[in-house]
Amino acid sequence: MTKAETDPELAYLPFPAGSQPPYAVARYGSTGKRAPHQPLIAAVPTIERSGPALSADQLPADADLSQVAGRAALGERIIVAGRVTDEADRPVPHAMIEVWQANASGRYHHERDTHDAPIDPNFRGAGRVFTDAGGNYRFVSIKPGAYPWRNHTTAWRPNHIHFSLFGASWGARLVTQMYFPGDPLLAIDPIYHSVPDPDARARLVAAFDLELTQPEWALGYRFDIVLRGLHATPFEVP
């Protein structure tokens, strides 16, 4: 156990208002029977203050989704990179990041995806990377396509890559989606709009980054991620 896990003066900070979605989202139909109705119970984290130390020894890294056995996937090759920190801008080293996404045609390599778009045999669409000592990560993929879903008439998901992250403690666990700048579907997507604060939504959109771009090879996008950390709680002023 590290000091952070056992020091009772350290706690999670509350989320800023509007920065996280509520469970019940009227325009996202699947929340209707799945969002809890009873009030949540505020818990003092105990076992949640520690967390798994997942490593590439147990879960092999795969930072290149853009090919299978050396055969290139169809689509626009991209490099996605960024930095994972906590709220105090401290890097989160050795964090496991899992990513998954649709192919360039907007089809997942998944038996339950029935969208009438072609499967690409050279694109499986899942990867796993770990942040370095400075909290930095990087992987190569292709730009995912938009795809329809049955939430409402003409519902199409914007281009997105799913991210799953494990931080320094269980309470830092985050699953989110990275979007692409300039996507017209963002304006009408109920899942993106489940986050009330427009600035918090905008932070889910990656930045096109010419410095990450590799000439003659791939476009670069930067997506920085902030996980919950354990922090010294400020003294309450009576």
CA distances from 46 to 5, 8, 88, 98, 175 (A): 8, 9, 22, 26, 22
Number of residues that bind another protein (CB under 8 A): 75
**Structure-token pair, residue 176:** 């989110």
Query: Which residue of the set 49, 77, 83, 160 is catalytic?
Result: 160
Q: What is the dihedral of CA 188, 191, 195, 199, to 10 degrees?
A: -50
Stretch that binds another protein, among 29-37, 69-77, 130-138, 207-215 (CB under 8 A): 29-37
Residue with tokens 């192919």: 103
From CA 205, how far away is CA 177, in angstroms rounded?
A: 9
Does residue 157 have an active-site annotation? yes
Between 146 and 195, CB nearer to another protein: 195
Contact present, 162 and 99 (Cβ < 8 Å): yes
Stretch that binds another protein, among 72-80, 138-146, 172-180, 206-214 (CB under 8 A): 172-180
Stretch that binds another protein, among 13-21, 135-143, 180-188, 208-216 (CB under 8 A): 13-21
Q: Counting contacts by CB under 8 A, is residue 20 touching another protein? A: yes
Within 10 angstroms of residue 125's Cβ, the number of other Cβ atoms is: 21
Residues 98-157 that bind another protein (CB under 8 A): 98, 100, 102, 108-110, 112-113, 124-126
CB of 102 to another protein, least distance (A): 8
The 3-state DSSP class for residue 3 equals: helix
Q: Counting contacts by CB under 8 A, is residue 80 touching another protein? A: no
Q: Counting contacts by CB under 8 A, is residue 89 touching another protein? A: yes
Question: Quick one: which of 8, 9, 46, 210 contacts another protein (CB under 8 A)?
Answer: 46
From CA 163, how far away is CA 82, in angstroms rounded?
A: 12
As beta bridge partners, residue 128 has 62, 98
Does residue 160 have an active-site annotation? yes
The residues assigned a catalytic role are: 108, 147, 157, 160, 162
